[in-house]
């Protein structure tokens, strides 16, 4: 059974082939991500562990997944529903239950999110202004599923390049 170190192994940030494009695109919004299958990575019923390293101030907007999930904070802090969560704290959500937004703290945040099924790692459900829900397949349309995050990250990046004070912990 292979083992990987977060701080020492480049392989830690690798994912099953069918998810590669999704995780390569994650770097465009200032994050690193990895996915570990708990079984056959090509079977949508296989549970998956998703590791996400978020930049300081990164905001994940309100959304849901089509399966049950739990998430634990490994490093840094994460603000959710007015609470600041730290290492060891856990979030749990049922299939299709909307949650968020979630904001990475001033030092960023690393979480491990376990999805009951692989489909939870790549299908993102968002509520539309009219109250309907939209499901985005992140393998096919990562940018579409994270449009708001892309805009926020670009604003933070431009501010850093312009030499403006680092307010990345603030919501942009």
pLDDT at 35: 84
Instruction: List Cβ neighbours of 59 (8 Å cut-off, separation of 6 or more).
Output: 101, 102, 103, 104, 148, 149, 152, 171, 172
Residue 152, classed as helix, strand or coil, is helix
The CATH H-level (homologous superfamily) assignment of domain 13-159 is: Jelly Rolls (2.60.120.10)
Asked whether the predicted pLDDT for residue 92 surpasses 90, the reply is yes
Structure pTM? 0.76
Residues 49, 134: Cα–Cα separation, whole Å: 24
Tokens for 155, please give them: 């604003």
Residues 92, 110: Cα–Cα separation, whole Å: 16
Identify which of 122, 138, 143 has the alpha carbon closest to the alpha carbon of residue 28. 143
Return the minimum-mean-pLDDT range out of 86-95, 104-113, 140-149: 140-149
């Amino acid at each position: 059974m292979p083992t990987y170190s977060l701080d020492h192994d480049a392989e830690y940030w690798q994912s099953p082939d069918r998810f590669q494009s999704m995780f390569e695109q994650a770097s465009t919004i200032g994050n690193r991500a990895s996915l570990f299958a708990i079984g056959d990575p090509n079977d949508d019923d296989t549970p998956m562990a998703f590791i996400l390293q978020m930049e300081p101030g990164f905001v994940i907007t309100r959304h849901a997944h089509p399966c049950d999930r739990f998430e634990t904070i490994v490093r840094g802090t994460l603000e959710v529903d007015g609470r600041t969560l730290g290492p060891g704290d856990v979030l749990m959500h049922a299939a299709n239950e909307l949650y968020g937004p979630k904001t990475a703290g001033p030092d960023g945040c690393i979480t491990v999110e376990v999805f009951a099924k692989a489909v939870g790692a790549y299908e993102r459900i968002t509520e539309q202004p009219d109250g309907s829900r939209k499901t985005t397949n992140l393998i096919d349309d990562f940018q579409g599923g994270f449009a708001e995050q892309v805009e926020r990250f670009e604003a933070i990046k431009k501010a850093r390049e312009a030499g403006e004070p680092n307010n990345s912990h603030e919501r942009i």
